[in-house]
Amino acid sequence: MENTRNKEYYISEFKKTEASMNGEASSSFHQVRKNAISRFEELGFPTIKNEDWKYTNVKQLFDFDFTGGNAAGVTKKDVDALHIKGLNENIIVLVNGVYSEKLSFVKKQNGGIIIENLNSVLKNNPELVLDHIGRYATIDNGFTALNTAFAKEGTVIIIPDNAEVKGHIHILNITGEAGKHILTQPRNLIITGKNTKVNIIESYHSTGSEANLVNAVNEVVVGENSFVEIYRLQQENQDSFHINRTQAVQARNSVFTHFSVTLGGGLVRNDTNILLNDENCTGNLYGLYLTEGSQHVDNHTLIDHAKPHCQSNEMYKGVLNESSRGVFNGKVFVREDAQKTNAYQSNKAILLTSDASIDTKPQLEIYADDVKCSHGAAIGQLDDEAVFYLRSRGISADMAKTVLIRAFANDIFETIENETFHEHLNQLVFEKLG
């Protein structure tokens, strides 16, 4: 009953939004939105009866009628505090899901590079995105359907052949408004041509303590012989809900690397998928999640090896405290034509209390015969002897645990080539651990 009522609420909100669109309702892209709301009406929100959601119950969402907000309460000082010190950044700021021109700053780029907000592109140059948006992130659950139906705000990054972006691109999302439960649905589209390289940081933050919902979708196209690196950092308050989907498609000789760092949120679902769609691709997925209280973090990944001579590396590590819960479901799919595949997958977690728990399900599905694939999962606790050894050297019990946890996470840190972000994350982890 709650699921049905909540579904009807969002369908009603869509109709209200559509009625206020004027001429935009007749645009080509609005037909994509209408198809998506129809799919949402069919699918509804996932339940634990859905295999991919069996460990994550989203019924808490139905206690709230989420709504839009405004950017009035966020200042440049607030944004400056969230910059990554020492990083040469282009900043795209979205406050409560709406692009803020006054808080954003993008360097003048050469070579036809486009870094703009989605709403502006849809109004002024829709042909830039119509062949891409909605093409890669297929609608297989209600959250992706809902994001597509309301797609309006987000970031469009288009890098033509042989072009180089000046500085990192930081997509900074800030959510929260006193007395409201805010819904934001950012839609980011990243398209790279041949022989390009780009580093993107995608971060999510809260103001206040109200329960909000972020429902984000990223579609990424990695061009031939290109390098795309995305650092995803989530630090929202512990009453917030965060659902995100990233779908990357790779061309020949490309490298795509995605880091997912989850430090906040009450209920978090990260869906990260890669399609290695040509030969000699490399796909890398790395994740770190630190949880406490009653946090619930679900990492779902899919690496689809569609062509031969490709390799993938996947490593997720979690540290779970108090009564928090983790979920890891990582699938490596090797198609029949994908000979000479080399795939590695690992998920390890430390439970700091007897009340913390994790459900882990690494999967290999292989239809080729000339491959090298491995996967593994390990769950344990801190080594009491190691804690005792550090304490015998005059280190406090809390600091000893912190040092061991940081050492456990070091494999993830070593994959971060950007020294500035490495140090920034290092500081955040020590702050999180107290």
- pLDDT above 90 coverage of the chain, percent: 79
**pTM of the predicted protein model:** 0.95
Q: How many CA atoms lie within 13 A of 150 on its CB side?
A: 26
What mean pLDDT is predicted for residues 94-104?
Answer: 94
pLDDT reading at 1 higher than 50: no
pLDDT of residue 3: 53
**pLDDT tens, position by position, 304-358:** 999 999 999 999 999 999 999 999 999 999 999 999 999 999 999 999 999 999 9
Nearest to 138 by CA among 43, 247, 249, 274: 247
pLDDT of residue 261: 97
- Residue 67 in contact with residue 180, Cβ under 8 Å? yes
pLDDT reading at 61 higher than 80: yes
Give CB contacts under 8 A, 24+ apart, made by 104-108.
107/166, 107/167, 108/166
Element (H, E) at 243: strand 241-250
pLDDT reading at 89 higher than 90: no
What mean pLDDT is predicted for residues 88-114?
Answer: 92
Give me the torsion for CA of 154, 248, 250, 155, rounded to 10°: 10
pLDDT of residue 124: 92
**pLDDT tens, position by position, 121-138:** 999 999 999 999 999 999
pLDDT of residue 389: 87
**pLDDT tens, position by position, 15-35:** 988 888 877 777 888 899 999
Give me the torsion for CA of 175, 177, 182, 186, rounded to 10°: -30
pLDDT reading at 365 higher than 90: yes
What mean pLDDT is predicted for residues 47-53?
Answer: 94
pLDDT of residue 22: 75
- Residue 172 in contact with residue 92, Cβ under 8 Å? yes
**pLDDT tens, position by position, 165-191:** 988 999 999 999 988 999 999 999 999
- pLDDT, mean over the chain: 93
Question: What's the rounded Cα separation, in Å, for the pair 3 and 316?
Answer: 32
Confidence of residue 4 (pLDDT cuts 50, 70, 90): low
